Structure 1
Amino acid sequence: MTEITDVAYRPGLNAPIGMDVIDFAELRSRARNRQIDLAGPQRPDFHHLIHVHADADALPHTVDFTEHVIPPGGWLWVRPGQVHQYGALTRSRGTIVIWSPGFVTIDPPPPETPVLPGEPVRNAVDLALRHLISDYADLGSMTLEAHNRSLRMLLEVLLLRLAHARSTPPASNPANGPFERFRAAVERDFTRTHRVADYAADLGYSTRTLTRATLSATGRTAKSYLDARIVLETKRMLVHSDRASADIARHLGFSTPGDFNKFFRKHDGRTPLTFRSQARGTPA
């Protein structure tokens, strides 16, 4: 069993406040210095935008139990709090843009799978990245405040280009809209309450409004979204810790271990301990 490594945002000495741009070689160097196993599970508190160079090998990458392969020229966005693991990093080359939450004012939804922009979108995305890298390296030509403001704008351009690189444009979800507020509240309180009505009351919406907004943003109801978040955290704890099932149940806000087992089996089809043994490849 490999414990999850929580990784705090720590940019380079010459990086602007809140953002950094590094290549894969620099990532490996920083990991060695901080004694972080990149092949092991990590949970960073900042964004990762991973780009594999067009003339490099594909990069395997696992995000919350989903295995991806980032193709040459492709991109993958890992959000704060997601558990991810690099695979075969030494065999590929690429660029990673990292930034702390709040550095940019927009937050378009990340792609569910790696994005490989088609022409002519790819040219626009590549140009946006080159412009960002060039401005990032040009630290001394402006004040720090102006430099950070420029980088925020350029990163927003890159994110918008990537958000529209898919065949289906993302739905518009204002940062202070019902779904974004619900998503933030779920991240904060999913171990406290499992009732959509409680979130609706706290946020000042009706349950119907939250359900409609969540359906528009994710294609699932508010209850389904909340349950999926609880299931995900359950799987993280089962695979990456040795905590007993009853202890996990208490942590996640279930009144009894029986309710917890029933909930997990309804959504996964297995008991928590069966999932743990199968995910780890160990006898039940």
Structure 2
Amino acid sequence: MTIIPDTPSQLRLTPISRLAAGGRWRVEAMRSLREPVLLWFTQGQGRITVAGTTRAYGPNNAAFIPPGVMHGFEIAPRVQGTVVFFGRNHGLDLPATPQFLRPRDPISQKELIATLEAIQRELESARSGSQKAAQHHLGLLGVWMDRQLEREKAFETMPHRPAASQQLVARYASLLERDFRSNRAVADYAEALGVTPTHLTRVCRGACGKGAHQLLEDRILFEARRLLAETRLPVKDVAEMLGFNSPGYFTRAFQKTAGVTPSAFRKKPAGPVVPRV
């Protein structure tokens, strides 16, 4: 089965306010990328869901998301900040699990802002060696994250172990990301996890406000929108790639969620093409 790449491979920075160009589905629906990303929020607040668990974010909050981790977040008009797309060949030793960072002191916040500005300045420069310089600044961003994680641990009075329910939802999110194109039902995922569908739905809703079926449907239909917006694949091929038994069933499922048919969605103006998270 052919998988259409979802992101370019190079380092780039994008304002958070531009991420929803072409529709809020670009940020709010569940998706994953093939590269690490760092979300840095400087203004506004909302909720972000990573690996099936939802938590609040506000000004001067950051979230690091490794490749292949399912995520999505609310974006309001007042939300501002920057997303760092590391690229698939970043060459850095980065955390293997999602990290939520809250730099509490102004010095740490200023260090991060200065590093991001330096990366952007080099990416926009026409001088020789600018790409190499940008990668070196990206390495400093990795150092900043390591130091911030050490500070975060210092604020914890005792080691934190995720609750069993959070672990279950994270395992479900991981399986879902691997197999969402396979036409497996929630009952199949629940069986693989050794729980009942009812229990899986209950813990998912408790962790992120969405049931197990809604998470599965959300992930499939985000991919459907992406393929329709960014490729010329026929609708029947998109349906087949996503595990639907027939184009008609895919069209009904898509229209129920998106409010338009796949063909009509494809014809809608998509806005400027920008990197997505």
Report the TM-score, using the length of structure 2 for normalisation: 0.53
Task: Determine whether 1:80 maps to 2:71.
Answer: no
Query: 2:34 is aligned with what amino acid?
Result: D
Percent sequence identity over matched residues? 24
Corresponding position: 1:46 with 2:35: yes
Query: CA deviation digits over 1:8-34, x for unaligned, max 9?
Result: 5x8xxxxxxxxxxxxxxx858xxxxxx
Unaligned 5+ segments in structure 1 are 11-25, 29-38, 55-70, 85-92, 111-116, 134-148, 162-171
Aligned to 1:269: 259
Q: CA deviation at 1:185?
A: 0.7
Letter of the aligned partner of 1:208 in structure 2? T
Structure with bigger RCO (C-alpha 8 Å, 6+ apart): 2
- Aligned pairs (5 A) from 1:1-284: 6-8=7-9, 27=12, 45-51=34-40, 75=62, 80=67, 96=84, 98=86, 103-104=94-95, 106-108=97-99, 121=104, 123=106, 126=109, 129=112, 153-154=146-147, 156-157=149-150, 177-280=167-270
Matched length: 197
- How much has 1:265 moved relative to structure 2? 0.9
Q: Structure 1 residues 257, 97: CA separation in 2 closer, same or farther (over 3 Å shift)?
A: closer
CA shift for structure 1 position 217: 2.0
Distance 1:278 1:95 in 2: 26
Q: Distance in 1 between matches of 2:91 and 2:189?
A: 26
- TM-score norm. by structure 1 comes to 0.52
User: Which whole-Å CA distance do the structure 1 matches of 2:201 and 2:92 have between them?
Assistant: 26
**Contact kept in structure 1, 2:169 and 2:203, CA below 8 Å:** yes
Deviates further, 221-230 or 98-107: 98-107
AA in 1 matched with 2:147: L
2: CA distance, partners of 1:97 / 1:243: 26
Provide closer, same or farther for how the CA distance between residues 151 and 229 of structure 1 changes in structure 2, counting only shifts above 3 A: same
Check 1:159–1:95 CA distance in 2 against 1; reply closer, same or farther (3 A cut). farther
